[in-house]
């Protein structure tokens, strides 16, 4: 039978595990860098912490006829480890999803980083996103975690209708123009 001190050595602290996931995504962010053939981009800023990201989104046609396209999201930017990790996780979590699926993911994750929803991982990717649940204990850091998700939500809402079809008036990047010429400044004032 294990003694109390031996149990602590063999049972990882959940807070430490979540912290390790955030540090890993912050140090080695996934999907970082401009996307070739970017079609939509938007800049988000959190002036309280100095976080600054630009999301680059691209539509990828589905292999199935009459199916909605899938999105791919990459980013550039800098900021605290929570914002960079959250952006890395977000890009991984929504890539290869339809616009509607990405919106569902945004809503789900908002519940996680605000602490309104408990964590129940179904796969490794969701386990990574659930590391943001720890942020809910630090209200000032919620905005750092929210920045990429709120920025993507605004990008999708401006460019796609409720069914996930591109709006005729959307501000898609021109294929022959460098992306980023028309990015707007976005301040995430509230995570609510």
- Sorted by where each begins, the domain ranges of the chain are 23-159
**pTM (2 d.p.):** 0.79
pLDDT for 190: 42
Evaluate whether the domain defined by 23-159 bears CATH number 3.90.1010.10.
yes
pLDDT digits (tens, 9 = 90+) for 76-121: 999 888 889 899 989 999 999 999 999 999 998 888 888 887 656 5
Measured in whole angstroms, the distance separating CA 133 from the mean position of its chain's CA atoms is: 14
CA–CA dist 57, 73 (Å, integer): 5
pLDDT digits (tens, 9 = 90+) for 142-151: 898 899 999 9
Which tokens sit at 167? 């709006």
């Amino acid at each position: 039978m294990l003694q109390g001190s031996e149990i602590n050595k063999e049972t990882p602290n959940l807070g430490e595990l979540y912290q390790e996931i955030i540090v890993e995504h912050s140090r080695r962010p996934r999907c970082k860098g401009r996307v070739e053939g970017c079609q939509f981009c938007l800049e988000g800023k959190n002036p309280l912490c100095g976080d600054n990201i630009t999301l680059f989104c691209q539509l990828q046609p589905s292999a199935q006829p009459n199916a909605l396209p899938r999105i791919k999201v990459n980013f550039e930017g800098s900021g605290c480890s929570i914002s960079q990790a959250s952006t890395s996780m977000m890009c991984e979590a929504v890539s290869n999803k339809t616009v509607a699926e990405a919106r569902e993911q945004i809503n789900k994750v908002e519940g996680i980083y605000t602490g309104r929803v408990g964590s129940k991982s179904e796969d490794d990717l969701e386990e990574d996103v659930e590391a943001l649940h720890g942020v809910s204990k630090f209200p000032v850091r919620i905005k750092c975690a929210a920045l990429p998700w709120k920025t993507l939500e605004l990008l999708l809402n401006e460019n796609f209708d409720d069914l996930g079809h591109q709006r005729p008036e959307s501000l898609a990047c021109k294929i022959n123009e460098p992306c980023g010429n028309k990015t707007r400044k976005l301040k995430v004032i509230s995570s609510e």
